[in-house]
Amino acid sequence: MALAVAPAAAFAQTDLYDLSSVRELRLYFDVADWRHVLDSLYLAGEDERLLGDLVIDGTLLLDVGVRHKGYSSYSPGRAKNPFNIKLDEVHAGQDYQGYEKLKLSNVIQDPSFLREVLAYEVARNYLHASRANYANLYVNDTLVGLYTSVEDVGGDFLKDHFGEKDGSFFKGNPHTVDLTGENCNLSDTPGTDSTGYVDLYDLQSDHGWGHLLELIQVLNNQPDSIERVLNVDRALWMHAFNYAIINFDSYVGYAQNYYLYRDEDGLWNTIPWDLNMSFASFRLTDASTYWNGFSIAQARTIDPLSHYNGPSVFPRPLMRNLFTNAMYRRMYLAHLRTIINEQFADGGYRDRALELQALIDAHVQADTNKFYTYQSFLENLDQTVNYTVAYPGLTELMDARTAYLATYPGFTGEPVIGAVTHAPEDIGVGGSLAITVPVSGADTVLLMVRFGTRGRFQRMPMWDDGAHGDGAAGDGVYGVQLTAATNRLEFYLYAENATAGSFSPARAAHETHVLQTRLSPGMLVINELMADNTGQVLDPTGEASDWVEFYNSGTATISTAGLHLSDDPADPTKWALPDRTLEPGDYLVIWTDDRTSVGDDHASFKLEATGETVLLAYDSAAVLDQVTYGEQYPLYTWGRSPNGTGPFQRLSPTPGSYNRVEFGAEPDRTLALWPNPATTEVNAFVDVQGPMDVQVFSVDGRPVTGVQRYTDRHLIQMSTVGLSSGHYILQVRTNDGTITQPFILLP
């Protein structure tokens, strides 16, 4: 089995944020004084929006909601203010390529036009971070200017990166930034009541204050237990990113411009935001040694452990209380080393900056509302540009900072981790597995492993004692033995000595090593499907989508990675299943409605009610399950009975739960009638072979409709037009007898 390195999550690049061209956005307002209206809405402080129509690269979206955004980047009457555009303000579900909100920054505080886009591009290698590119914005066909367009950190972002979006969610965004205060620093200064925090943290979910207070309490008072509530590795990566490129308009400076999301494993995850003042454009404070601001020269050599080696003039517990842990410090410096070595040490970032500069050059020239001259745009990549403040050239800053960090204590002297191997070559679910790796210069070697693509990593020591599948004792090869609890293992290695630490892969845990074997037929089965859903089951968006249910019928946890769902035997890899981990007895429901933009549990095709074949497969050579069904009818599903193992038959719908044969209160499976009571239409499914006569009677036995004749089992749709409200009886006469079913008509 091959060992691979995989990102934490892989997602297709969308055209909206593609960086090979500049997007064109055209807003149209009915009001001529739209600037005044937007200013008034912004100053009112509410989330009210001005309605307009938006055209994105030729695609029209009606009635979008528009308001200004930002803090220092906004000013009343300014010709070029930042925009927040909500595409589904009026029309529920309206989006563009799956995105429901656009965030446009006006490129203030950045003569280079490069900072925000380049910083996000760097960040995405190590963190869950937004995509960003450029867009020309026109209002009523007049060019306002060239903007940076940054992916919104909202429900879709969370779903993409965490697989769900229902956890507690906050933005570190104080209503008013206190320039000499704590802001969103996660200290417990405001007390133990959530009312002390509501003006500091912007709640983005329906709940979460209790969880946030728990994080704050543990971080400040029980930091040794912080891994219980915080994804420490992700926080360390955010700090490393901010200190690498001097992005101090962040948690570092005024303790703002970041998100916190609590995932389904109960861990808080940090997400960076608002990178327009990165690369030392912001230098007002570091809340430590340079609490009152710092110069460009000082920016180049700011201590990445200021909040450990120096004071915290304004508390920064998310740094200071983590950095007191020696292992966390070494992990943090290892992450910082990776960013510097991969992104800046070889100067390749300048080549990338030149590509972006060439992409937007003509658009910058055409932007008559830009805040700096075209000459400043050309110069600021390499040189300081002076306006009210001085903006350092990106290379001027980063080349010097790279040289400074190269000699920083703990930046060198790290252990060297070699190639990872494992035995046996093909892992079997539930079987024993040994992972080995040569490491030199280490005092401690750890394996961090999880079973599946999400969840907490378990920490396991690795040994060089000859007793853990590692070969001979003291040979420099470290090993660990474990049970392969699933068909997919994700892991990374960490090694350290008294000076420094190192990871394998270097981008861990954003990237991991992966061991995966294919499931055998019968471990995951197609358990139930509904191909003619007229409203008996609704998906989470309230739609009557068809669906397919899968069931883990085995005794081991399994991963769906690499599996596909298809309704075409000639194309078994038609649609890739989402990456999910299923415990024994777990179900997975996929909505087959051709609405992939709604979520990763919506397939790219629909089922045929007239019958077809559904397949679960890795590829054409590895089909795990295949079901062929005939004509389907509302009310029923086609599923296994007994659940998970039996043959297929018509069932009552039970998506995500145990299959049952019963049909509720229906007296006879041969005649099912719905809805009951009814209003304008009654549906009946008659499951008998041969000819039949169908007629409706009043309760006193009088026929109220004519006889309808059918030749075989049939779905019958009867209009109730002309019938008054009351009680009726549906009668079906066959060669074998008569079947009746009472129903009620409502007014």
Final residue of a structural domain among 516, 544, 572: 516
Asked if the structure places residue 613 within a domain, the reply is: yes
Is residue 511 domain-shared with residue 633, that is, in the same domain?
Answer: no
How far is residue 643's CA from residue 373's CA, in Å, rounded to a whole number?
70
How far is CA 586 from its chain centroid? 22
Domain containing residue 488: CATH number: 2.60.40.10
Portion of the chain with pLDDT greater than 90, in percent: 74
Cis peptide upstream of residue 647 (ω within 30 degrees of 0) = no
pLDDT above 90: residue 662: no
Q: How many CB atoms are located within 10 Å of the residue 97 CB?
A: 11
Domain containing residue 621: CATH number: 2.60.40
pLDDT of residue 6: 43
pLDDT above 70: residue 31: yes
Asked if the structure places residue 461 within a domain, the reply is: yes
Asked if the structure places residue 409 within a domain, the reply is: no
516: nearest Cα among 452, 462, 438: 452
pLDDT digits (tens, 9 = 90+) for 60-115: 999 999 999 988 899 999 999 999 999 999 999 899 998 999 999 999 999 999 99
Q: How many CB atoms are located within 10 Å of the residue 2 CB?
A: 7
pLDDT digits (tens, 9 = 90+) for 352-374: 999 999 999 999 999 999 999 99
**Per-residue pLDDT band at 9 (split at 50, 70, 90):** very low
Angle between helices 326-343 and 232-244 (to 10 degrees): 50
pLDDT of residue 714: 66
pLDDT above 80: residue 715: no
Is residue 697 domain-shared with residue 639, that is, in the same domain?
Answer: no
Asked if the structure places residue 624 within a domain, the reply is: yes
pLDDT above 90: residue 491: yes
Asked if the structure places residue 664 within a domain, the reply is: no
Is residue 505 domain-shared with residue 577, that is, in the same domain?
Answer: no
Which run of H or of E encompasses 651?
strand 648-651
pLDDT digits (tens, 9 = 90+) for 663-703: 443 434 577 777 778 877 777 777 777 888 888 888 778 88
pLDDT above 90: residue 2: no
Final residue of a structural domain among 337, 360, 388: 337
Is residue 429 domain-shared with residue 461, that is, in the same domain?
Answer: yes
Domain containing residue 728: CATH number: 2.60.40.3080
pLDDT digits (tens, 9 = 90+) for 570-579: 999 999 999 8
Is residue 603 domain-shared with residue 629, that is, in the same domain?
Answer: yes
Number of domains in the chain: 4
Is residue 593 domain-shared with residue 540, that is, in the same domain?
Answer: yes
Final residue of a structural domain among 337, 357, 385: 337
Is residue 549 domain-shared with residue 642, that is, in the same domain?
Answer: yes
Is residue 574 domain-shared with residue 692, that is, in the same domain?
Answer: no
Would the CA dihedral through 729, 733, 737, 739 be positive or negative? negative
Q: What is the pTM of this model?
A: 0.83
**Per-residue pLDDT band at 430 (split at 50, 70, 90):** confident
pLDDT digits (tens, 9 = 90+) for 512-570: 999 988 888 999 999 999 999 888 789 988 999 999 999 999 888 888 989 999 999 99
Q: What is the mean pLDDT of the chain?
A: 92
pLDDT digits (tens, 9 = 90+) for 206-248: 999 999 999 999 999 999 999 999 999 999 999 999 999 999 9
Asked if the structure places residue 94 within a domain, the reply is: no
How far is residue 253's CA from residue 243's CA, in Å, rounded to a whole number?
11
Asked if the structure places residue 302 within a domain, the reply is: yes
Portion of the chain with pLDDT greater than 70, in percent: 96
Phi and psi for 119 in degrees, rounded to 5? -65, -45
Is residue 533 domain-shared with residue 477, that is, in the same domain?
Answer: no
Is residue 493 domain-shared with residue 602, that is, in the same domain?
Answer: no
Is residue 469 domain-shared with residue 535, that is, in the same domain?
Answer: no
548 lies in which domain range? 524-651
pLDDT of residue 248: 98
pLDDT of residue 744: 86
- Spatial neighbors of 467 by CB under 8 A, at least 6 apart, are 473
Asked if the structure places residue 612 within a domain, the reply is: yes
Answer with the residue of higher pLDDT: 241 or 159.
241
pLDDT digits (tens, 9 = 90+) for 431-442: 899 999 999 999
Is residue 484 domain-shared with residue 533, that is, in the same domain?
Answer: no
pLDDT above 70: residue 256: yes
pLDDT of residue 746: 86
Structure tokens at 371: 């805040």
